[in-house]
Amino acid sequence: TTCTLSTAGMQQCTVANGQSCPVIGVVSLPITLSGRTRIFDVLVAPTLSHDLILGIDFWRVMQIIPDMFSGSWSFLNPSEVNTPKVGAIHSSESLTSEQKKQLEQMIEDTFQAMPSKLGCTTLVEHIIGTDSPPIRQRHYPISPALQRQVYEELDKMLADGVVEPSNSPWASPILLIKKEDGRYRFVVDFRQLNKVTARDAYPLPFVSATLDKLRDAHYLTTLDIKAAYWQIPLSEESKPLTAFVIPNRGLFQFRRMPMGLHNAPATWQRFIDRVIGLDLEKYVFVYLDDVIICTDSFERHLEILKEVITRITNAGLTLNRDKCHFCKQELRYLGYVVGASGLMVDPGKVEAIVKIPPPRNVTEVRRLIGLASWYRRFVPNFSSLIAPLCDLLKKNRKFIWDDACNSAFRSLKDCLISAPILSCPNFDLP
C-alpha cells in the first residue's frame, strides 16, 4: 500500500517512559487483523525500537480484548466482522437453495417482459417553462485528445434516440466530466437556461427521513433504473431549448430529459412516486433513481419485488439488471450501508475521507467538511468537533493550520473510523 506522509502538525510525542520522541510526520495506514480492516493515523518516528507499536486506540477500534495472563487476545464480538474488506458487502448466504431457486425464477420471469434497450415512458413528458428569448452561447474548447471520446458518446446518444440534430436558435456549451475509469463524458452546461426557467416546487425526500424508515431490513433489494432521466421524453416545444454545440460536429438537441436541467429531479421524483404508488410505501423507498425494497420476510420480499418490477415495466422503463442487487442482507444505499443490524458508514467513503491530507487552503477545508458532514449523525457533537475547521472559513480570516485544527482533523477521522452502527427508529412506539 502506498501511503502519503503528512508533515503538518505534531513534531514530537511522549513515549511510555516519559521521554520525548521526534516525529517526522503522519501516515494513514490500513491495518488488517483476522479479516478486519481499519485505517489508522500512524505517527512516523525514526528512533523506535520496533517497526510498529499499536496502542490502546488500536485495541479499542478493533474491539479486541487482551488476556494478560495467557498472553492472548480475542475479539469483543467474534461473529461480527466490522470491515472484512474495504468496500465489501455481504450477500445473502442465509437463503436456502430453494429460496435462491425461487428468487432466480422470479427474476427471469419478470425481466423477460422488459426490453433490453433504453425505455421511454408515455405517462409523462418534461416541459421546460420559459418565455425568455433564445440564449446563444459559444462552446468551450476541447482538446483534440478528448474529442474522440465526445464523438463516440454523441454517436451512441444519437443511436439510442436520446438526441437529434437541431436548427434551434438556442445553444449551450458542453463540459467534460472525468469518470471513475479515467475516461470522460460530456454534460451540457444549462446554467443560463436554468436562470430563465420557472421552478417546479415538487419536493424531494429528505435523505435522513428515508434512511430512518429502513427498519426490519432483513431482506434488501436495490434496483438500478438504466439512465433514468433519459427514459422520460421532452415535450416538442422544450426540445429546441436544450440545444448544445459539439465542436466540429454541429448543433444537437435532446429528445429525452437531460441531466442538468433545474426541474429534472422534480419531474423524475413525481413520476417515480406515481409509478411505485402509495400502497407500497411501507416497503419501497425511492430517492430520485435510487430504489430500495426492504422487508422482514423472504416471502413478502419476493411478492413486493415482483410487483415493483412489474409496475416499472408497465410504465415503459427498463432496469440495468447487472447493477441491481437482489435479496441481500446488507447493501449500499445513498452513501451508507444498511442492513438488519442498522445503519453503517460506507467503508469505501470513509477510507477516502481518512486518506485526505491536512487541508492547505479554504477550498480544501470546505471540501473536507462537505464530505464529513454526510456522516455527521455518526459523530457525537459534530458541530463542536469541527468548529476549529469552520473558523478557517470565516471571511477575512487568515488561513493558519494550528494545533486546534490538526486536533479536530485527527479526531474527526478517529470518529469516522470507529463509527458505531445506528439503529433505525421504531415509529410504532409511543
230 lies in the same domain as 305: yes
**Cα 342 from Cα 423, distance rounded (Å):** 5
Q: Is the pLDDT of residue 128 over 90?
A: yes
**pLDDT recorded at residue 209:** 78
251 lies in the same domain as 327: yes
- Let me know if 42 is exposed, middle or buried by CB neighbors in 10 A (0-12, 13-18, 19+): middle
**pLDDT recorded at residue 269:** 96
365-384: pLDDT as tens digits: 999 999 999 999 999 999 99
Residue 7: pLDDT band with limits 50, 70, 90: low
Q: Is the pLDDT of residue 197 over 60?
A: yes
Q: Are 344 and 88 in contact (CB under 8 A)?
A: no
Q: Span 335-347, mean pLDDT?
A: 84
**pLDDT recorded at residue 81:** 40
Q: Report yes or no on 319 lying in a domain.
A: yes
Of 16, 41, 75, the domain-final residue: 75
Q: Is the pLDDT of residue 91 over 50?
A: no
Give the chain's domain count: 3
Could you give the maximum distance between any two Cα atoms of the chain, in Å?
A: 83
**pLDDT recorded at residue 216:** 67
Residue 82: pLDDT band with limits 50, 70, 90: very low
50 lies in the same domain as 176: no
Mean pLDDT of all residues in the chain? 85
Q: Span 168-195, mean pLDDT?
A: 91
63 lies in the same domain as 197: no
**pLDDT recorded at residue 418:** 84
203 lies in the same domain as 322: yes
Q: Is the pLDDT of residue 318 over 50?
A: yes
**Cα 342 from Cα 146, distance rounded (Å):** 44
Q: Report yes or no on 333 lying in a domain.
A: yes
386 lies in the same domain as 325: no
Of 287, 320, 337, the domain-final residue: 337
221-259: pLDDT as tens digits: 999 999 999 999 999 999 999 999 999 899 999 999 999
Q: Span 7-11, mean pLDDT?
A: 59
Q: Three cell numbers at 393?
A: 472559513
Residue 281: domain span: 93-337
296 lies in the same domain as 384: no
120 lies in the same domain as 248: yes
Identity (one letter) of the amino acid at 56?
I
Q: Report yes or no on 313 lying in a domain.
A: yes
17-69: pLDDT as tens digits: 667 778 887 777 777 776 566 667 778 887 776 778 887 777 766 767 666 54
**pLDDT recorded at residue 18:** 67
Residue 116: pLDDT band with limits 50, 70, 90: confident
243 lies in the same domain as 225: yes
217 lies in the same domain as 268: yes
Q: Is the pLDDT of residue 120 over 70?
A: yes
Angle between helices 97-112 and 298-314 (to 10 degrees): 10
Instruction: Report the range of poorest mean pLDDT among 32-46, 163-177, 259-273, 305-319.
Output: 32-46
Of 47, 75, 103, the domain-final residue: 75
Number of neighbouring beta carbons within 10 Å of residue 348: 15
Q: Report yes or no on 222 lying in a domain.
A: yes
Q: Is the pLDDT of residue 273 over 50?
A: yes
Q: Is the pLDDT of residue 16 over 70?
A: no
Q: Report yes or no on 321 lying in a domain.
A: yes
Q: What is the CATH number of the domain that holds 150?
A: 3.10.10.10
Q: Report yes or no on 80 lying in a domain.
A: no
**pLDDT recorded at residue 343:** 84
361 lies in the same domain as 375: yes
Q: Report yes or no on 57 lying in a domain.
A: yes
Q: Three cell numbers at 375?
A: 456522516
256 lies in the same domain as 364: no
Q: Report yes or no on 88 lying in a domain.
A: no
Q: What is the CATH number of the domain that holds 348?
A: 3.30.70.270
